[in-house]
Amino acid sequence: MTTLLRTSPAPRRRTYSAIPGQTPGSPPWRVLKSILLLICVLLVVLPFVAIISTSFADAAQVNRTGGFVFWPENPTLESYRAILGGGIVSQALLVSIGVTVVGTALSLASSITLAYGLSRPEAYGQRPILLMLLFSMLFVPGVIPSFLLVQQLGLINTYWALILPTMVNAFNVIVLRSFFTSLPRELIDAARIDGASEWRILTRIVLPLSKASVAVIGLFYAVGYWNAFFNAMVYINESSMWPLQLVLRTYVVNNAAIGAGAAAADPGVPLPPSQALQSAILVLSILPIVILYPFLQRHMTRGVMLGAVKG
Amino acid sequence: MDMRLSRRSVLHAGLGIAAGAALGGSLTACGDGGAGVLPPAAGRTVLPDYVPYTAVTPDFPGTEQGVLNGFYHYPATPVRAFPDGPPAEGDPFRFMTIIYNPVPPPVSRNRLWQELNAYLGADLQLEIVPSTDYVTKFSLTIAGGDLPDGMLVRPEAPQKPGLLSALCEDLTPYLSGSAVRRYPYLANLPTMSWRNCVLNGRIYGVPMPRLNSGSAMFYRADFLAARSLNPEPANFAEFLQLCRDLTDPSQTRYACGDPLTTFYFVMEMLGSPKDWREENGRFTWYLEDTDRVRQGLDAMRQLVRAGVMHPDGFSTTGRFKDWFGNGQIAINYDGATAWNDYYRSYRSASPDLRVGAMVAPGFDGGPGVHWAGPSSFSMFSLKKAAPARIEQLLRALDALATPFGTDGYLLRKFGVPGHDFDFRESDPILNRTGTTENTLPAMFATDAPQVLYYPDDPSVVPEQYAWQQKAVSVLISDAAEGLYSAADAARGGPNRDLMFQTLRSYMQERNTWDDVLAGINRWRTVVGDQSRVEYEQAWQQWAV
Amino acid sequence: MTTLRPATELSNRASSEVPAPRTRRATRNRVLFWFALPGATLLFVFHYIPLLGNVIAFQAYQPFIGILHSPWSGLDNFAFLFTGDQAFLHAVVNTLELTLIQVVFVFPAPIVLALALHSLVGERVKQVIQNILYLPHFLSWVVVVAVFQQMLGNTGLVNVFLRAQELGTWSIIGNPDLFQLVLTSQVMWKDTGWGTILFLAALSRVDHDLYEAAAIDGASRWRQIWHVTLPALRGLVILLLILRLGDALSVGFEQIILQQTGLDRSVTEVLDTYVYNQGLVAGQWGVSAAVGLVKGMVGVILVLGANKLAHLLGEEGVYRR
């Protein structure tokens, strides 16, 4: 039986229909749907084209249009040079990648076991732990007590401070658990009768059948770690240990904040136009996710078709 | 001109302002507007002596009223500020401070920082906090109890008096009166900026001096010249006409951008006090002067109706600089230091750019007033420590305050020759490395007094100097500067914004004068009346 | 082994106890507890221990004095609830309105989009489209607001175009009547694509044989969606909806605070911006904690109530009865 379950999903590459077996929609509906999707795509693509173009635009053009440009007339890498010069951004990039990879792995490990432990109502302590998860989404601890705790644990100025406090996310665990509980109960019970241990059931039955949801939750965690700057601001005093988002924040937010006049540095820094700089920062900070996403996507959209398990 | 600023002359100037303000804004004739308001009593005796630095002679001498020294060029041979070697020694100095620029490379890859450490004689460990997060980080550091050796304390820090006396060193014995002379470059900081560092009659920090001529109404001199327009309107009507002449919606070109700062300028025309006005110990907020406010707001309505305001000005924040740089607006009210920034940021894109600045004329003719800015950005306080350590820290701060013309100033602002900048004649011109390294926020520990100097184009210095002279001659200061009110510190800022929103709606004719009055009354109930009482008490205590 | 039935059908029956050897069940149940323990411990340590710090909601807390020595202040920090301030009432009403709008319009948007994507012909096209649509999620609010302003502002692209055609100006940004519409479309633009990810994951588990079976029975396309596709999403949709209700009193703080200039506060103020704009939270940690507690209590009531309702309707909700 377990051998059956190990069968990987049969790749279904039929081009004429997305979902095998599904009746095709009527032609007008299909046209309407295509138009709608096209509009959605355009609404997103155009601003992004503008952002990418602006990141390569030169000062004169940005200045003339007074905002985003749709095509760089004299493409320049000036904005990227300004950001990457000095080496602090490349170092921060390494920090971010490290924290994201290690953090996501640890988060997934602890969340999968937690969600699995809560996936069956008869499990010991299931209900109180589940309520604990739920309430943790409703009551948020203050910044100061969290800081004091991390300080007491001696984690200030360590990368652990960027991982441990956010390692278990209640929302992700609850969603993952709901995916686990919707798996066919018969499979698991059958495996139990066969004498499989819980660990074996989790790794050989539940996880292979939950590739899609695990990939999604993994993505959620990875994006969470990648985008986080607040904990780094609070827990890391050494700017050489900052992750990317906190370093970039000093370009975006602060650049906008100047104007108080009293605060401006003297002599100031001749940066490329803020719009171009900001666009380049966006491109840099989104790029890794854009690269990562298609790899995860394979697991997310195709998933496991239970039909394939029948054998 | 003699740069010596005696306490007597400051006092005199301060009284001049107070007396002028008492006349309800007809201060305009008061030629000797001072560098700031100092309350008239013995509390002042705690302030450090002022011993101006005289080793470098400015091309344009500053004045005791607040005009800055102006220089065409950096001295060919910078003065060695510490001829006997680095001033400080001992354990690294952990300083927590704020940054408004991109964060600089860490010390291991930052020659400027390394050289600065060598210059001080001990390592400077900067804990850098992005400006928007400083309040949070400050509170957390206080709550955690592991304080750095020194940290920036914002003027509006909650419970400032209690906090300072509980955690920070009382620097009075080290700096008060003639004691400051042991730190010659701290003694060179203007008296008014020290005023912000005194609480309950004790000195709790070192200032970060800023020019007190505050903000300026900048205009695109190139636009005005192209249309032969007069950059010095004599009254509001002429200003309105100037705005009309500058506006051309078909080219997306408008006169003004930010409605709020334009309103400030109109209020300067009307001779309004800057924030708080003190009169016989009584404090009033400028928006409480309802007749003047109504006149100012109705003038704003005229500007809005005339279509000279940028149509997105009401719904935008933070884009006015860019609009000014790219010509969408021709007039912009901004911090006076922005003058050089405009050239630096926008000249490469629009080579014709010329910037000028005007001082508010009287609303119906004659002179207006000019609002002073804070004389110090914040104060830098030291953690309680043994006297020997405090002295070392003060020596380091002394070195961070070395003025224009010294080797220390050149190092802090421009970096290492050949690495961060190259000399053109005697003037340092930053290169790319320099622009990333010189954002080191040492200037948010303490700094030298500001000067007028722009190595890339020295010809702007005389223009700036002329504007400063004009602005300072009608300068008017916030009477509450340097005084502490717990209510204003906690709730003043946000409620001020709330009030401004009501004003913006009025300018757009979306509400009525009654709504504005209701807003002012609400401000009084929520924060104003309590702030008033606290400021008056602080004033009295200072006076005793 | 018997033919497996579709996941959805089974999930409803999952609560029925399946006979298992009684002796082993007790140990197994404890084994599951050990699975849950590491994650639960982390959550307890990093969430519930600092949560104790919320006692400062009843203190005049000052960081330099500390939690142990700050004076107690009773319910002072909750005073904002009872002032009867007109602005506060506006803020509460606006918050609830926005929550309602978002639950009705924003919440279903990713479901519809996911269904459309799911039924799309061509795997490659589907992936590319999805790849594009999730991108706006990664823009910060500062950027989203800037994008909208430069497209729809009075001097934005649309209006520059309209004026060039002599069609006048269509004031969108900065128009109080359209404020909620602008907010809602921003949220939809930013997060609809991203929101599809969970639903697509759920859809990936629909048994394709069911479509075949339904097709043989002569079910139309719409009936297939109604009877096969939607039931597969139902549990997840209800779960997410309940969790969303827990946040009923928080709507887009950063998004709104960025766009409050120029509009009357009676239109733009929501609960979070109210406490911020009143200066209630600046340096007043006790009030921050009090606000958090109030929102949490309301969240608990809404979540437990919605969960109960789900049970009455025969759904599982967040947890089983």
Of B80, B104, B24, residue with least CA distance to B411: B80
Instruction: Tell whether A301 and A155 lie within a shared domain.
Output: yes
Residue B468, SS3? helix
B311 to chain C: nearest residue by CA?
Answer: C154
A12 lies in some domain: no
pLDDT digits (tens, 9 = 90+) for C285-305: 888 888 889 999 999 999 999
8 Å CB contact of A186 and C10: yes
Axis crossing angle, helix B493-507 with helix B290-305, rounded to the nearest 10: 50
Q: Give the C-alpha separation, C182 to C262, whole Å.
A: 14
CA separation, residue C174 to residues A168, B254, C171, C180, C181 (Å): 41, 18, 7, 11, 12
A205 lies in some domain: yes
Q: What is the pLDDT of residue A209?
A: 87
Nearest-neighbour CA in chain B from A227: distance (Å)? 16
A21 lies in some domain: no
pLDDT at residue A180 tops 70: yes
User: pLDDT band for position A259 (50/70/90)?
Assistant: very low
Q: Give the C-alpha separation, C84 to C87, whole Å.
A: 9
Q: What would the two tokens of residue B396 be?
A: 């380091």
Of A221, A227, A232, A241, residue with least CA distance to A103: A221
Domain that holds residue A38: 29-76
User: pLDDT band for position A302 (50/70/90)?
Assistant: low
Question: Is some CB atom of chain B closer than 8 A to the CB atom of A85?
Answer: yes
Length of chain C in residues, anyone? 321
Instruction: Tell whether A272 and A123 lie within a shared domain.
Output: yes
Considering only residues A266 and B513, tell me which one the structure prediction assigns the higher pLDDT. Answer: B513
A13 lies in some domain: no
Q: Average of pLDDT values for C220-241?
A: 82
What total number of domains does chain A contain?
A: 2
pLDDT at residue B79 tops 80: yes
Q: Average of pLDDT values for B356-377?
A: 94
pLDDT at residue A262 tops 70: no
Q: What is the pLDDT of residue B366?
A: 93
Q: What is the pLDDT of residue C124?
A: 81
Of A143, A100, A94, A92, residue with least CA distance to A250: A92
Instruction: Tell whether A212 and A196 lie within a shared domain.
Output: yes
pLDDT at residue B456 tops 80: yes
8 Å CB contact of A47 and C136: yes
B357, with CB counted inside 10 A (0-12, 13-18, 19+), is buried
Q: What is the pLDDT of residue A270?
A: 55
Residue B79, SS3? strand
User: pLDDT band for position C25 (50/70/90)?
Assistant: low
Axis crossing angle, helix C123-133 with helix A274-302, rounded to the nearest 10: 140
Cβ atoms of residues A14 and A20 within 8 Å: yes
Instruction: Tell whether A104 and A253 lie within a shared domain.
Output: yes
pLDDT digits (tens, 9 = 90+) for B185-203: 999 999 889 988 998 889 9
CA separation, residue C199 to residues A175, A178, C115, C204 (Å): 11, 13, 8, 9
Q: What is the pLDDT of residue B71?
A: 96
Q: What is the pLDDT of residue C22?
A: 53
Considering only residues A309 and B487, tell me which one the structure prediction assigns the higher pLDDT. Answer: B487
Question: Is some CB atom of chain A closer than 8 A to the CB atom of C129?
Answer: yes
Q: What would the two tokens of residue A193 be?
A: 């009768």
8 Å CB contact of C221 and A26: yes
pLDDT digits (tens, 9 = 90+) for C65-116: 888 888 888 888 888 888 777 888 889 999 999 999 999 999 999 999 998 8
Residues of C119-149 as b/e, b for ≥16 C-beta within 10 angstroms? bbbebeebbebbebbbbbbbbbbbbbbbbbb
Task: Point out the domain boundary residue: A76, A91, A114.
Answer: A76
Cα–Cα–Cα angle for A127, A131, A137, rounded to 5 degrees? 155
Cis omega (within 30 of 0) on the bond before A267?
Answer: yes
Instruction: Tell whether A176 and A284 lie within a shared domain.
Output: yes
B146 to chain A: nearest residue by CA?
Answer: A151
Q: Please, which residues 180-219 of chain A have a Cβ atom closer than 8 Å to chain C?
A: 181-187, 189-190, 192-193, 197-198, 202, 212-213, 215-216, 219
User: pLDDT band for position C321 (50/70/90)?
Assistant: low
User: Which amino acid, B139?
Assistant: S
Chain C positions in Cβ-Cβ contact with residue B314 (cut-off 8 Å): 174, 261-262
C145 to chain B: nearest residue by CA?
Answer: B316
Q: Above pLDDT 70, what percent of chain B?
A: 91
Q: What is the pLDDT of residue C10?
A: 37
Size of interface A-C (CB pairs under 8 A): 331
Instruction: Tell whether A51 and A127 lie within a shared domain.
Output: no
Of B160, B172, B152, B215, residue with least CA distance to B447: B152
Q: Give the C-alpha separation, A291 to A277, whole Å.
A: 21
Instruction: Tell whether A44 and A89 lie within a shared domain.
Output: no
Q: What is the pLDDT of residue B181?
A: 96
Nearest-neighbour CA in chain C from B109: distance (Å)? 30
Considering only residues B519 and C23, tell me which one the structure prediction assigns the higher pLDDT. Answer: B519
Instruction: Tell whether A63 and A88 lie within a shared domain.
Output: no
Task: Point out the domain boundary residue: A76, A102, A136.
Answer: A76
Instruction: Tell whether A114 and A54 lie within a shared domain.
Output: no
Q: What is the pLDDT of residue B1?
A: 35
Q: Average of pLDDT values for B132-159?
A: 90
Place of tokens 């005697």: B426
User: pLDDT band for position C188 (50/70/90)?
Assistant: very high
8 Å CB contact of C123 and A18: yes
User: pLDDT band for position C175 (50/70/90)?
Assistant: confident
Complex ipTM tops 0.95: no
User: pLDDT band for position A304 (50/70/90)?
Assistant: very low
A271 lies in some domain: yes
Chain C positions in Cβ-Cβ contact with residue B147 (cut-off 8 Å): none
Nearest-neighbour CA in chain A from C35: distance (Å)? 5
Q: Average of pLDDT values for B465-477?
A: 94
pLDDT digits (tens, 9 = 90+) for B259-291: 999 999 999 999 999 999 999 889 999 999 999
Helical (H) or strand (E) element with A278 = helix A274-302
Q: Average of pLDDT values for C191-195?
A: 92
Q: How far is CA C227 from the centre of its chain?
A: 26
pLDDT digits (tens, 9 = 90+) for A44-61: 998 888 889 988 988 888
C86 to chain B: nearest residue by CA?
Answer: B522
pLDDT digits (tens, 9 = 90+) for B407-425: 999 999 999 999 999 999 9
Q: What is the pLDDT of residue B35?
A: 38
Q: What is the dihedral of CA B237, B241, B242, B248, to 10 degrees?
A: 150
Q: What is the pLDDT of residue C317?
A: 79
Instruction: Tell whether A58 and A149 lie within a shared domain.
Output: no
Q: Which of A63, A148, A150 to mutate to test the interface with B (most CBs of B within 10 A)?
A: A63
Q: Above pLDDT 90, what percent of chain C?
A: 25
Question: Is some CB atom of chain A closer than 8 A to the CB atom of C35?
Answer: yes
pLDDT at residue B28 tops 80: no
Instruction: Tell whether A86 and A189 lie within a shared domain.
Output: yes
Q: Average of pLDDT values for B506-517?
A: 94
Lowest mean pLDDT among A18-27, A107-116, B354-363: A18-27
pLDDT digits (tens, 9 = 90+) for B203-224: 999 999 988 788 999 999 999 9
Place of tokens 């070109």: B253
Phi-psi region for residue B281, left (φ > 0), alpha (ψ -120 to 50) or beta? left
Q: Average of pLDDT values for B350-358?
A: 92
Length of chain A in residues, anyone? 311
Task: Point out the domain boundary residue: A76, A101, A132.
Answer: A76
Residue B129, SS3? strand
Q: Average of pLDDT values for B58-87?
A: 93
Q: What is the pLDDT of residue B37?
A: 46
Instruction: Report the residue from C62, C264, C279 with minimal CB separation from B494.
Output: C279
Name, of A80-84, B51-55, C124-128, the range with top average pLDDT.
B51-55
* Alpha helices by DSSP H, chain C: 7-13, 22-43, 49-51, 86-101, 109-118, 123-133, 141-152, 157-164, 179-203, 208-216, 221-224, 230-245, 253-257, 265-268, 271-277, 285-312
Number of CB atoms found within 10 A of residue B514's CB: 8
Length of chain B in residues, anyone? 544
CA separation, residue B62 to residues B188, B473, C144 (Å): 13, 13, 46
pLDDT at residue B16 tops 90: no
Question: Is some CB atom of chain A closer than 8 A to the CB atom of C24?
Answer: yes
Considering only residues A104 and C122, tell me which one the structure prediction assigns the higher pLDDT. Answer: A104
Residue C112, SS3? helix
Instruction: Report the residue from C47, C129, C316 with minimal CB separation from A37.
Output: C129
Instruction: Tell whether A103 and A248 lie within a shared domain.
Output: yes
Q: Which of C80, C155, C275 to mutate to test the interface with B (most CBs of B within 10 A)?
A: C155
Q: Give the C-alpha separation, C307 to C321, whole Å.
A: 9
Instruction: Report the residue from B166, B167, B311 with minimal CB separation from C154.
Output: B311
Q: What is the pLDDT of residue C105?
A: 92
